Amino acid sequence: MTARTDAHARLEDARVFLEAAETINTLNAEEPYADVIATLAVHAGIAASDAFCMLELGRHSKSENHADAVKTLKEAGGDNAILARLLGEKTKAGYNVSSLTRAKSTKCIEWASKLVSAAEAKYM
Q: What region, left, alpha or beta, does residue 28 occupy, with left being phi > 0 and alpha being psi -120 to 50 degrees?
A: beta
pLDDT along the chain (124 residues), means of 10: 91 98 91 92 97 96 91 97 95 81 95 98 91
Residue 98 CB partners (closer than 8 Å, separation 6+): none
Q: Residue 115's domain spans which residues?
A: 3-123
Domain count, the chain: 1
Say which DSSP state 32 is in. G
Question: Which CATH number covers residue 11?
Answer: 1.20.120.330
What pTM value is reported for the model? 0.94
pLDDT at residue 114, as a whole number: 98
